[in-house]
Amino acid sequence: MMTRRQAIKTTALASVALATLPSAIAQTNSNAPVAAAPSGPFTLPPLPYAYDALEPYIDARTMEIHHDKHHATYVANLNKAVAEFPDVGKMSVEAMLKDLNAIPERIRTAVRNNGGGHFNHSLFWQMLKKDGGEPTGDLAKAIDSAFGNFPAFKENFSKAAAGQFGSGWAWLVVDANKQLGIEPTANQDSPISQGKQPLLGIDVWEHAYYLKYQNRRPEYVAAFFHVINWDFVSERYKNMAA
């Protein structure tokens, strides 16, 4: 088995070899070890826990397909989109989404959808944890002040999640004035494109829950509240609202 260092070296050497091939050969040699080379600047972050860590609320098979297939596809398609625009590929995905109008028109929709998918899911995995407790510190106070109390927040957030028509997300956001709000987005749109920072988000695409909950989205939303990583969300609020 290759060590990681060896693998990096081999990949680097393969890239050099490919780069020095006459272009006609490089284009026709479809068996070249090109698949081993990085396919672009963006990479799929590993799931920070086991597939079954959120059972029984979110099942292992759903987590596996959601992360390994769906999120991976957003990353692959984002890499594909930026392949001809190296300057865009050097940007962080957050910077791209914050100013979509600055993205070349030809890839703007692809960046919005796949960059959004990559950004949203990268956050989503970290927002989840079994027995994640309740909001703490300043966030707990801010939720009480914005929504009345935690149960009222939960009710409003759940309504937004259940009510998002078709694929999308519901978010707890903090805006530029440090005010909390709840808002849904369609598809893979992210609140950061509207100048708001997502603190907590629930993915309500069917791929996030269909295997276990089928058409019963409200049951999935109720289950989601058992697996929120409130430490992560509270810490995020502390950094954003500081």
Contact at 8 Å (CB) between 173 and 196? yes
Report the sign of the C-alpha dihedral through residues 43, 44, 47, 51, in that order: negative
CB of 138 to Mn ion, least distance (A): 29
Rg (CA), the chain: 20
Rounded to a whole number of angstroms, the minimum distance from the CB of residue 120 to Mn ion is: 7
Phi first, then psi: what are they for 5, rounded to 5°? -60, -45
Segment contacting Mn ion by CB under 5 A, of 85-93, 106-114, 189-197, 200-208: 200-208
Window 124-153: contact mask with Mn ion (x via CB under 5 A):
------------------------------
Residue closer to Mn ion, measured from CB, 205 or 230:
205
Extract the tokens encoding 237.
């609020």
Secondary structure class of 7 (helix, strand, coil): helix
> In this complex, which beta carbon is closest to Mn ion, that of residue 51 or of residue 205?
205
Sole window of 25-33, 150-158, 197-205, 224-232 interacting with Mn ion (rule: CB under 5 A): 197-205
Q: Are strands 197-203 and 180-186 parallel, antiparallel or unpaired?
A: unpaired
Token pair, residue 144, equals 């009480």
The two three-digit tokens of residue 223, written as one number: 């289950």
Angle ∠(76,79,84) on CA atoms, nearest 5: 145
Candidate ranges 76-84, 147-155, 168-176, 195-203; the one touching Mn ion (CB under 5 A): 195-203
Closest separation in Å from C-beta 163 to Mn ion:
18
By CB under 5 A, is residue 203 in contact with Mn ion?
A: yes
- Minimum CB distance to Mn ion smaller for 122 or for 136: 122
Q: Under a CB-based contact definition with an 8 Å cutoff, are residues 209 and 143 in contact? A: no
Q: Stretches 17-25, 54-62, 190-198, 203-211: which one binds Mn ion (CB under 5 A)?
A: 203-211
Q: Residue 169 or 232: which CB sits closer to Mn ion?
A: 169
Closest-by-Cβ residue to Mn ion is 203
* E strand map for 116-179: 168-174
Instruction: Return the ∠ at Cα 78 (arms to 74 and 83), rounded to 5°.
Output: 150
**Minimum distance between the CB of residue 234 and Mn ion, rounded to whole angstroms?**
23
Interface region with Mn ion, contact rule CB under 5 A, candidates 17-25, 77-85, 207-215, 216-224: 207-215
Q: Would you say 172 or 208 has its CB closer to Mn ion?
A: 208
User: Cα separation of 171 and 192, whole Å?
Assistant: 11
* Binding residues vs Mn ion (CB under 5 A): 203, 205, 208
